[in-house]
A and B are shown apart, each in its own frame.
Chain A
Amino acid sequence: MAANEITSRSFINITKYKFVWLCVTAILLLPGTLGLIYGAIKNHSPLKVGIDYTGGTILQYGVHENIQNQELATLRTALAKAGIENPNIQIIHANAENQKTNVNLKNIISIRTKFISEDTDTENKITEVIAKAHPNSELMSVTSVGPTLGNELFKKSFTALIVAILGMIIYLTIRFKFTYALAAILGLVHDTLFVCGVFALLGIFFGVEVDSLFITAILTLIGFSINDTIVTFDRIRENLRYYSKKMSFGEIVNASVNQTVSRSINTSLSTLITLLALYFFGGVTTRDFVLAMIVGVIVGTWSSIFFCTVLVSIWEDKDAKKIAKAKEL
């Protein structure tokens, strides 16, 4: 029997437990969503956004010595004395030693202030304060974004995202069906919400901020996750062609998921391997970007298997029942 062939290797039963999977998805989304709501109420912004979106200046100094945590307080008072208002100081452990390029960085002191690009005096004052504490320090990077520009950047990225999603819906509707397209896009919304939620929590507990690279990470994971979802849908489409007379839609969904699950997991694993290499051995500046990707790849795999397919099977089952009813009448 054909049905036996494609159901013989079932590990996951999607259709039998569809409401269980939906509940698990909802529970997993809950903490992050709460984090986003908390941020929105308390700080008027769901995520702790960096200067890319709020405007401001970040000065980063490379230091060759180890830095004790209590030094932060000393630096803060010294900066306050120099007339710098509310500086946000962070120590990033770099531990970069590279004899060829003559790099020997232990730490990076990162100082965030209001927008000071035009006013070179303030920059010099800060540099003086740091130089007093660490004579060998070196100003490694300056990032400044004007207040009006930040808002514009955010709007622009957001528009790009919405238009990209519309484009994908149209393509998927042509190649599959509108319900499939909608399920795939809801999967993307799920992934984006989850990753944003994780970063909202990281922002609340560890002060992690999102910058323009974060948007790039979201875009990548959208591309990745839609890949995963489409491969599964493609299998459903193919199996429908061969087995639709012998099996119910639910059975076909189940079989298709089980046929593609090892591919989904293997692809995600190989991507995770490169991401983990980047996370542990790549540069400090992209670490948050890579972290967002790691979280995204994992939830993207989850959503393609347990979320998008469940949605499709619920909607398509309803459609099938309607058609059956119409036929009876």
Chain B
Amino acid sequence: MKNKIIKFWAIVLIAIVSIFIICTKPTKLGLDLAGGSRLVLEAQTTKAIPQITDDVMNTLQFSIENRVNKLGVSETIVQRVGENRLMVEIPGETDLQKAKMYIGETAQLEFKKPGGTDKDGNRIWLDADLTGRDLTKSQLTTDQSGQWVVSLEFNSEGSKKFAELTKSLVGQEMAIFFNGDLQSAPRVNEPIYGGHAQITGGGDSGFSMEEAQEMVNLLNAGALPVPAKIVEENTVGATLGADSIAKSKFAGILGLGLVMVFMIIMYRAPGVIADIALILYSLMLFALFKAIPVTLTLAGIAGFILSIGMAVDANILIFERMKEELRAGRNLFTAINSGFDRAWASILDSNMTTIIACLILYYFGTSVVKGFALTLAMGVIISMFSAIVITKNFMHLIFGTGELKYPALFGLKTSEIGKAYEATETKRENARFGILD
């Protein structure tokens, strides 16, 4: 008995810790609930880089991370998936169109030299082996006439290359391309040493401030080693997310309430105890979600609510078994114990199968499947704990030593009790002490 009271207080302690965690820790909501975007980018091979290697992916990830951070949104995620893909998550409401352009831009800055004209009279520009990689940084400034310009600072190798290029092009034009578009083609009057240069916008008006600022940001974030194409996009507005949360909450509480009523109708007194165990189960699971933290998505919430139904299962197994034992005329203590003992094999086997399936799905599955498998496995483990430890402990504390005085408490009729008793092989004396054949 002392042992059981210690267990009881341990359960109370766990409940208090769970409530504390639930109240203090924030829930991590997935993009489908909080609103936000998930993009999957696929690295494209180019002539220069015909194969996507780990190195290329690392550089790509680094530059994409840099760019995403510049968006000024917290908790963005850039993650490698598979061989040649990156997953980018941007929570909260953002200007997606802009974000998409920003992330997808290669930001390839190239200096080119003239190479004559083709037969239609268009100018041909040749590679000069000087690109955005040779920069240390770029800045937004204005020139003498007050126009916005992008000033560039080369690294030591870049400075040398730039000096040589300008030396060879004195009296000619030099072209600056950004993402394949000609920005400007200034005439080179004299060789430029010192490693500084400026890009002015084409046309009369030059750059707008936004245009120039964006170019500066992209240049500073670094060029993408290869172009990246968006192959998957998932954006959910905050309105839809809020609606989903509100509805799921309501449905969850309603579902939980109805299951509790159902348990009381079916199993009476043990039903009440199972309900308490069920509430504790929900608290513990939710606290664990927050503590790890598990990102809660729509599929996750559905899994959570569903697991409530499944958590009841262990209790139902035990109570059905207990009813049978009571019908067989065993006393309460024996019936409770053998109910738990005999149901244990079923509970273990069925839950182990589910856990095995979850592990495999977690390992092989896609991200949606992964989140679901994790939620379900956690639910199954905690439900085993709740049924075996919590329900059993409460049952013993409340009914532990008593004889079965009111069969109605267990949803049984007095006439049913002991009916099947004579038929069992267990001797009356053995049954009294919980010894089964």
Bound complex: CA A223 to CA B303 (Å):
12
Bound complex: CA A123 to CA B262 (Å):
49
B423, A140: Cβ atoms closer than 8 Å: no
Interface string of B35-56 (1 = CB under 8 A from A): 0010010100000000000000
A273, B255: Cβ atoms closer than 8 Å: yes
Bound complex: CA A16 to CA B360 (Å):
39
Interface string of B229-240 (1 = CB under 8 A from A): 111111111011
Which A residues lie within 8 Å of B357 (CB)?
A: 164, 167-168, 219, 222-223, 226
Bound complex: CA A231 to CA B342 (Å):
11
A62, B232: Cβ atoms closer than 8 Å: no
B342, A238: Cβ atoms closer than 8 Å: yes
A277, B251: Cβ atoms closer than 8 Å: yes
Which A residues lie within 8 Å of B262 (CB)?
A: 269-270, 273
Which B residues lie within 8 Å of A272 (CB)?
A: 309
Contact residue among A96, A164, A216, A259 (Cβ-Cβ distance under 8 Å from B247)? A96
Nearest to B98 among chain A residues (CB) is A120
The segment out of A193-201, A282-290, A311-319 that lies at the interface is A282-290
Given contacts A216-B299, A219-B372, A234-B345, contact A283 B254 (CB under 8 A): no
Question: How near does chain A come to B341, taking the closest CB pair, in angstroms?
Answer: 11
Contact residue among B32, B248, B263 (Cβ-Cβ distance under 8 Å from A270)? B263
Which B residues lie within 8 Å of A259 (CB)?
A: 324
**In chain A, residues 103-148, which have Cβ atoms closer than 8 Å to a Cβ of chain B?**
103, 105, 117-118, 120, 123, 138-146, 148
Q: Is A227 an interface residue (CB 8 A)?
A: yes
Bound complex: CA A234 to CA B360 (Å):
24
Q: Is B78 an interface residue (CB 8 A)?
A: no
B376, A223: Cβ atoms closer than 8 Å: yes
B259, A5: Cβ atoms closer than 8 Å: no
Question: How near does chain A come to B228, taking the closest CB pair, in angstroms?
Answer: 11
Which A residues lie within 8 Å of B247 (CB)?
A: 96, 281-283
The segment out of A17-25, A41-49, A73-81, A260-268 that lies at the interface is A260-268
The segment out of B68-76, B166-174, B347-355 that lies at the interface is B347-355
Nearest to A266 among chain B residues (CB) is B316
The segment out of A26-34, A153-161, A321-329 that lies at the interface is A153-161
Which B residues lie within 8 Å of A275 (CB)?
A: 255, 306, 309
A230, B243: Cβ atoms closer than 8 Å: no
Q: Is A206 an interface residue (CB 8 A)?
A: no
Contact residue among A123, A140, A146, A278 (Cβ-Cβ distance under 8 Å from B302)? A278
Question: How near does chain A come to B364, taking the closest CB pair, in angstroms?
Answer: 4
Given contacts A215-B369, A222-B357, A230-B349, contact A281 B233 (CB under 8 A): no
Which A residues lie within 8 Å of B244 (CB)?
A: 283, 285-286
Bound complex: CA A293 to CA B251 (Å):
15
Which A residues lie within 8 Å of B259 (CB)?
A: 270, 273-274
Which B residues lie within 8 Å of A156 (CB)?
A: 364-366
Which A residues lie within 8 Å of B101 (CB)?
A: 120
Contact residue among B242, B305, B308, B356 (Cβ-Cβ distance under 8 Å from A171)? B356
Interface residues on B, range: 35 or more
Q: Is B6 an interface residue (CB 8 A)?
A: no
Contact residue among A2, A101, A142, A283 (Cβ-Cβ distance under 8 Å from B248)? A283
A262, B312: Cβ atoms closer than 8 Å: no
A101, B243: Cβ atoms closer than 8 Å: yes
Contact residue among B242, B246, B305, B310 (Cβ-Cβ distance under 8 Å from A278)? B305
Q: Is B17 an interface residue (CB 8 A)?
A: no
Which B residues lie within 8 Å of A286 (CB)?
A: 244, 248, 298-299, 302
Bound complex: CA A288 to CA B97 (Å):
30
B306, A271: Cβ atoms closer than 8 Å: yes
Which A residues lie within 8 Å of B365 (CB)?
A: 156-157, 160
Q: Is A172 an interface residue (CB 8 A)?
A: yes
Q: Is A8 an interface residue (CB 8 A)?
A: yes
Q: Is A70 an interface residue (CB 8 A)?
A: no
Which B residues lie within 8 Å of A223 (CB)?
A: 353-354, 357-358, 376
Bound complex: CA A267 to CA B387 (Å):
14
Given contacts A278-B255, A289-B299, contact A143 B233 (CB under 8 A): yes
B312, A62: Cβ atoms closer than 8 Å: no
B42, A146: Cβ atoms closer than 8 Å: yes
Which A residues lie within 8 Å of B104 (CB)?
A: 118
A144, B246: Cβ atoms closer than 8 Å: no
Which A residues lie within 8 Å of B310 (CB)?
A: 224, 227, 267, 271
Bound complex: CA A141 to CA B259 (Å):
34
Interface string of A28-69 (1 = CB under 8 A from B): 000000000000000000000000000001001010000000
Contact residue among B246, B302, B316, B317 (Cβ-Cβ distance under 8 Å from A290)? B302
B320, A262: Cβ atoms closer than 8 Å: yes
Q: Is B258 an interface residue (CB 8 A)?
A: yes
Give the top 6 A-B pairs by smallest Cβ distance, nearest first: A146-B231, A271-B309, A274-B255, A5-B423, A160-B364, A144-B233
Given contacts A142-B96, A168-B353, 18 further A-B contacts (CB under 8 A): A62-B239, A62-B240, A117-B231, A117-B232, A146-B230, A157-B369, A160-B360, A164-B357, A215-B369, A216-B368, A226-B350, A234-B349, A267-B310, A267-B317, A273-B258, A274-B306, A280-B251, A281-B254
Q: List residues of chain A with CB under 8 Å of any chain B CB.
A: 1-2, 4-5, 8, 57, 60, 62, 94, 96, 98, 100-103, 105, 117-118, 120, 123, 138-146, 148-149, 153, 156-157, 159-161, 163-164, 167-168, 171-172, 175, 212-213, 215-216, 219-220, 222-224, 226-228, 230-231, 234-235, 237-238, 242, 259-260, 262-263, 266-267, 269-275, 277-278, 280-283, 285-286, 289-290, 293
15 contacts between A and B (CB under 8 A): A1-B423, A5-B423, A138-B237, A145-B233, A216-B372, A219-B372, A223-B354, A234-B350, A271-B312, A272-B309, A278-B305, A283-B247, A285-B240, A285-B244, A289-B302
